[in-house]
Amino acid sequence: MNLHHRPLFPFAIAYIAGIVCASEWRIHPFAGVGIAAGVFLAGCALSAKVGSRPVLGVLGAVFVLGFIRTAVYRQIPLGDISRYAEGKLVYLTGDVASDPEPLGDAIRFVIRSNRLRTYTGEYPASGRVMVTLYAPRYESKAVRRGGPFYGETVRIHGRLRTPSPQTNPGFFNYSEYLAHKRVYCTLSAGMEQAKVLRPAQCSLKWAASRFKAHLTAKALELFRPVYARLLLGILLGNYASLPLDVQAAFMRSGTMHLLAASGYNCGVIIGIFGYLMRRLTTPRAAMHWLLIALLWGFTLIAGPGPSIVRAAVMVSAFLAAYLLWRAPDMVNIVLFAGLLILGANPLSLYDAGFQLSFAAVLGIVLILPLIEPKAREWLAPTWKRGEKPPGRIARWTLWAARNIVAAVLLSIVAAAATWPIAAYYFNYVSSVCIIANAFTAVLVLFLTAAGIAALFLGSIWSALGHIAALPGTALAGTMLGVVTELGSHPWSSFSIRSPSPVFIALYYLVLLGVLEYAYRHRQAARAQRAPGDS
């Protein structure tokens, strides 16, 4: 493993330490320059016996960078619209800056404000506002027919407020969640109070938003509503419109990550289109460039969340390494993706999706290479690596067994790497997550392929799309049945108190120590076998 020999690892630790210090001390950015500079000078002044002075100096500089970047990012701009958020009715004018998300009979999106009119006059305004538009009571389906789109300039008459602070320790802090997105106030209004003043201008994001809206409408046309929302959750990470009982079943079965745009979804899409390109004998270099473009297009459509950006950066770096004739190092790729995301938004470190995503990927990258060879030897002890068993039935049986075992191993590794974080945020641990993920991993692959085919054919000819949607309907029904059955029992998950940050830190330190010992033991065993093999 040798994490300390990888330059990005100590740099990532120093940068994260700077983020944590700036976030927890809650001081003015310029007041912390002295403290950060002191750490920098102390690192440079340490004896050479402790470490290389240039290296310690660079680490101190990275700590300073993380500290100042976080402290500046946390400051509310002077002209932010939140200073007008007094709970009064206002007219807000601005541009829609996010895709509207359905929430029952309401939609929610972010506005980048331009002007604000109150009872005292009209003022220029800046900053981001989280807007919730409610459908009229007499027309519960208004949300499906209307609502602004990304990029449109709108004027909304509603009530502007600051988010309520956290009242119960340990519960979800909505105001802090919005602050991490640099949103410091909310506005609520009726759907009829929103007026579009100017259509959106053409851009890549606008095109991606319209394409996403087209996919949503086409999925609702071809599939039953619950199946369409399940497919959209897998393809685009948009699961908020799923019924609450279905969301609870996915959560209790430990398969909620399938409905969030993440590395698994990216892997499925890359695998499907990569297989098609190989069958079409696409040149290797062209295939890699096309897959990178497809991946970032998917990221633009689904939305740049921490999980999907991490997956996009990792897969792009992995594919680009082969284009540059370099062997990719997965640990360095993961660390590079994390530093890139934290550089853009240092407070992503406190996002549950960011923590779960990187913990799962690092666990897979570090733990799976130790146990996967043993599993392969156990499955096919009589055939050497790369040698195919005789007979088509034997080959298909071995292929199916390897994929099932791989899915089980992935579930075990991901659960071992993420359960403390999941317990801290959600106060439960799923007891069926390994079985549920093993069953649904293959179903997601085939459902994604069938859903993409149905949406593509349905966009060409609606009747053909309805025919192509039949396999997807059967797969979606099977998947919902499996998840609902496994997640509906009282023993599917059990409640647990949030572990302390100290316990979580100790858990991961012990896990890293065990992995370091296992890697060194494997390296020593290989060194002992090498003379005899030669």
Query: Does residue 422 carry a pLDDT above 80?
Result: yes
Give 52 or 290, the one with higher predicted confidence. Answer: 290
Q: Please give the mean pLDDT across all residues of the chain.
A: 81
Domain residues of the chain, as ranges? 3-74, 81-201, 213-254+432-495
Q: What is the rounded average pLDDT of the residues 277-281?
A: 86
pLDDT at residue number 372: 76
CB atoms within 10 A of CB 98: 18
Taking only the tens place, the pLDDT of each residue in 477-525 is: 998 888 888 888 788 888 888 888 889 989 999 998 888 888 888 888 8
The residue whose two tokens read 């929610």 is 108
Q: What's residue 449's pLDDT?
A: 86
Q: Specify the pLDDT at position 380.
A: 59
- Report which of residues 403 and 443 the model is more confident about: 443
pLDDT, position 142: 40
Bigger pLDDT: 222 vs 168:
222
The answer, yes or no, to whether residue 207 has pLDDT greater than 80, is yes
What pLDDT shows up at residue 140? Answer: 44
Residue 434: which residues within 8 A CB-CB, separation 6 or more? 254, 408, 411, 412, 415
Query: Does residue 250 or residue 258 have the better pLDDT?
Result: 250
The confidence score (pLDDT) of residue 143 equals: 41
pLDDT in tens, 462-472: 888 899 899 99
Listed range (53-57, 110-114, 123-127) with the worst mean pLDDT: 53-57
DSSP 454-516: HHHHHHH-HHHHHHHHHHHHHHHHHHHHHHHHHHSSGGGEEE-PPPPHHHHHHHHHHHHHHHH
Summarize the confidence of residues 439-468 as an average pLDDT. 87
pLDDT surpasses 90 at 187:
yes
Residue 189: per-residue pLDDT: 92
Q: 154 or 404: whose pLDDT is higher? A: 154
What's the pLDDT tens digit per position in 356-415?
888 888 888 888 888 877 776 666 554 455 556 666 776 677 666 777 777 778 878 888
Mean pLDDT of 415-432: 85
509 CB neighbour count, 10 Å cutoff: 10
Could you report the per-residue pLDDT of 218-232, keeping only the tens digit for each?
998 999 988 998 888
pLDDT at 48: 41
Superfamily of domain 81-201 in CATH is Nucleic acid-binding proteins (2.40.50.140)
The answer to whether residue 209 scores a pLDDT higher than 80 is yes
pLDDT band for position 308 (cuts 50, 70, 90): confident
Closest CA to 343 of 68, 110, 129, 75: 68
pLDDT, position 92: 93
pTM over 0.85: no
Per-residue model confidence (pLDDT) at position 282: 84
Beta bridge partners of 126: 80
pLDDT tens string 318-352: 888 877 777 778 888 888 888 999 998 998 898 88
159, pLDDT greater than 60: yes
What is the dihedral sign for C-alpha 170, 173, 177, 182? negative
| CA 163 to each of CA 86, 187, 188, 193: distance values in angstroms, whole numbers, following the listed order | 11, 10, 11, 21
Instruction: Inform me whether the pLDDT recorded for 128 exceeds 90.
Output: yes
pLDDT of residue 395: 67
Nearest to 21 by CA among 75, 73, 77, 64: 64
pLDDT at 104 over 90: no
pLDDT reported for residue 389 = 60
8 A C-beta contact, residue 14 and residue 63: yes
Q: What percent of the chain has pLDDT over 70?
A: 84
11 C-beta neighbours (distance < 10 Å), count: 20
Model confidence at 50: pLDDT above 50: no
pLDDT at 315: 84
| Both tokens assigned to 20 | 């944590």
